[in-house]
Every structure is written in structure tokens, then in C-alpha cells.
Amino acid sequence: MSSSERHARVKEIFLAVCEEAPGDRERALDEACAGDEDLRREVATLLALDEKTTHSARTRPAETNVIGAFRLLQKVGEGGMGEVWEAEQQQPVRRRVALKLVKWGMDTREVLARFESERQALVLMSHPNIARAFEAGASDEGRPFFAMEYVKGLPLTAYCDAQRLDTRRRLELFCQVCEGVQHAHQKGVIHRDIKPSNILVAIEDGRPVPKIIDFGVAKATSQRLTERTLFTELGQWIGTPEYMSPEQAELTGLDVDTRSDVYSLGVVLYELLAGAQPFDSEELRSGGFDEMRRRIREDEPPRPSTRVSGLGPASQLAAERRRTDRPGLVRTLRGDLDWIVMKALEKDRTRRYASPSELADLGEDRTLEQMLVGRLGHAEVDDLRHALAGFVRDDDVRRFDVAVDHALLVRVLHRVADPDEQIEARARVQAPRIAVLGDRHAPHEFHHEVRTSVGGGACVEDLGDVRVAHHRQRLALGIE
């Protein structure tokens, strides 16, 4: 590890440990350093200096509780670099605001750049699901601040659990969050730290409204957010490990685009649905810095339904918070919801949803995938999409046909009305035959062949329509 990488790692661990409560810092330091005594000693020295500075700040004359037009009421949050106060704006209008202040002794070039960057990011945006920025300035002592909308509410997951919202209502709130993130992306801003604690649920006109806060590590895609130079990307940990995309864990900052936020939204959705994160937080952090990065980049998490099944007694509590029982929750998640979440969590960003609006299905365009999704399951359609990509590359009409017919067969197996094992076994035996029916039969004949091969009703009344869609797609592609 080079000296610059070492310095960046020391700094990142220091800032992360500063976020912990005083009683938890030793444990957090041990976990982050993972047995590297030299690294631990360097970080501990910085922590001691920070504590000394903090003590010095406590002994200086108390700062007035009025900053400009704002009267400070109570501190509601504190991080490694800043403080957040609930305050009352006294003029030109009276309103409750959240006032963010740079901490004493932390007014370095980098901190001021981040502070200004966050303020500018908020100014760019105007959306009901993003906390608004009002104004900025500095205290008489020179501490920069900016005032923003005060969101009095719980983090998204805590709110949903407290209200015992079912899966449908959780998804409704999540779609609002996607709209807010989509707006930020349209304004050229990537959040890079989307997590439940940065999504607070306020009650407006009697209905819950999620508000995205804390753009402190936001990244611009089309313009600079600040005139101050900010060289903090290389080798620095940007974001929260449990919600961090694989490309963020690379620490280069060079491959991070809006799809990184899509990944983080996928983790939030996973937690909303399953009641647990894809990777257990304690286990993820216990392996040390490099192992944590490796797992984020390489390890595939279980599907949400599988995660629920493995939670033990906690799974029943998760189900009750969603107004169902454990088997009911597993059934709800298995299938499309599993697939949607796992697509958002793809390690390869090119296979994720391209945007938050696509994740929430907010767009108007009807693609092949959307056209078939009402008939086929998402997983089968994804297989079709990849097979079609191969066909386009290889000019292999047969591959496209076989993929469609195979997907139809899989769907039949999943939708057999009679769970009799003999019917399922018979369908599996007939798989090779059904998989090559496409070119030899018209839609109505294909329908008959599938019914005959599988046996019984087998819920195939809609397969003829799907087959018609298949043939129409072949026509559109110039195949027929």
C-alpha cells in the first residue's frame, strides 16, 4: 500500500469512528483496523487529538444561540465534520428549519468544499421528496452554515415498521423515493449515500411523504457543485458500506455514475421488504476493511425471500411488521419482487436498472420486456432479453425461438394449477420437445402442444397470446 493510500485509509477510518458514540469507538476502531496495530495506533492518535480539540471547544465561551436570523433550539445530529440543529428562522419569515454547521476546528479546505458542495446540490433541486435548502451564511465566529427544510420524522424503514405497513404501502413510499432520486439525477447530482437514515418520512396533510436528506458526499455529473478544489475520490471511502455499490467499493471514484444510486436504492428496497439488509452488518464489518470491500464487490447476497427464510425467530417479527405471517411474507417476495431487487443489486452495473424511474417503472415507453412481463415472470423475461442480445450478435434466429419457448415452459411449470408431482415430472420430461416447437407451429397449435405435453388445464389460457407477441416481435425484427 502506497503512502497516499495509507493516508486515505487512516483518514477514512478516523472519520467513520468519529461518527460512533464515544462508548462504541474502541469497538469500531478494532473492527476497522482488523489487527493492523500500526494502523490502529495512527487512527487512535488522531482520535485523541480530536478529543482534545473538542474539550477545548467546550471550555471556550459558549457561542450565542442566535446565528444570523436563526435561533438555535436543540442539536438533532452530529457527524465527524458537522452539526445539525433544529432552529427557528425569525425573519423575513418565521419557520422551523434544520441548520447545518461546520464543527469547531473542522473548517479545513476539504470540509468547507464538501459543505459548499452539499448546499449547492440542494439549491439545484426542487422536489417534494427532497429536503429544500433556504439560505447560507456564517456565524460571527466564522462557522459556515446553511439552513434547510426541517424534516420531523423517522427513517424510512423505522417508520414503515412502526406503522406496520404492508408490502404494497411500503412499495408506494419507495416509489416516491425513486422519484426524488430521479429528480436529483436529472439535475446532474448523484447522492452516493442513499440509506434509510437519509430518507426521513414526514407527515404532510395527513399522508406520509419521504424526504431525502444529506447530500454531503454528492457528486456532480454535468457541472461543478463548488468552486473549491475537492480532490478526495482516490482511495477514499465514500458512502456507507451496507448500502454501497461495488464500484464505490473500488475506491477510485472513476466508475461511479447514477446506477450507483440505483444499487443503493436496491439495498433500501431489500430491507423494506425483507426486514434485513442483504449482508448482515456486523458480519460485513467484522472482516476488516479489505475483506469488506471484497464482499461488496464479489459476493452475491441471497434473494429477499431466502433471507427471510434464514432469519430464524426474527422472520416472524419481520412478517408481523408487514401484517402477515412468515410463509405469507416469503410467498409475497418470491418471484417478481425477488427478481426486481436482485436486478437492482447486480454487481455489473450494465445489468442493473438504468435509472431510479426504471426501477420504479415510472416511464411511459413499452419495451419488449414490459410487453411480456404481464404474461411471463420477470426472471424468464430477463433470460429472454439476454438470449435476444445473443441472437442480435450471432444472427441466430433459432436461439431467439428456443429462448421464448423455454421461458414459456418454465412459466407453465410455475403456474400449474394441480401441484401433482407427476404432472410436473411429465412437463420436465417434455421440456426438450416443447423447447423446439416454435418454428413448426402457429400460435394456436403451440397452445395445443403445450397443453398436451404438460397435461391438464395447467393455466395456459394466455400462452397463445404470448406466442402471438413472440411472432409479432419476430416480424418487427425482420425475422418473418
**DSSP summary character for residue 92:** S
Which residue has cell 432520486?
181
Distance CA 242, CA 264 (A): 9
Distance CA 213, CA 471 (A): 48
193 is catalytic: yes
Question: Could you give the 3-state DSSP secondary structure of residue 212?
Answer: strand
- In sign, the C-alpha dihedral spanning 401, 406, 412, 415 is negative
Asked whether 303 and 312 are in contact (CB, 8 A), the reply is: no
Fill in the amino acid letter for 126. Answer: S
Element of type H or E holding 147: strand 144-149
| Chain mean position to CA 361 | 15
Distance CA 442, CA 438 (A): 8
Q: How far is CA 175 from CA 129, 266, 380, 383, in A?
A: 10, 12, 24, 25
Classify burial at 275, counting beta carbons within 10 Å of its beta carbon; exposed 0-12, middle 13-18, buried 19 or more.
buried
Which of 24, 166, 193, 299 is catalytic? The answer is: 193
Per-residue H/E/C for 426-479:
HHHHCHHHHCCCHHHCCHHHHHHHHHHHHCCCCCCCCHHHHHHHHHHHHHHCCC
Helix runs in 107-253, H state only: 109-124, 156-162, 167-186, 246-249
Q: Which residues are catalytic?
A: 193
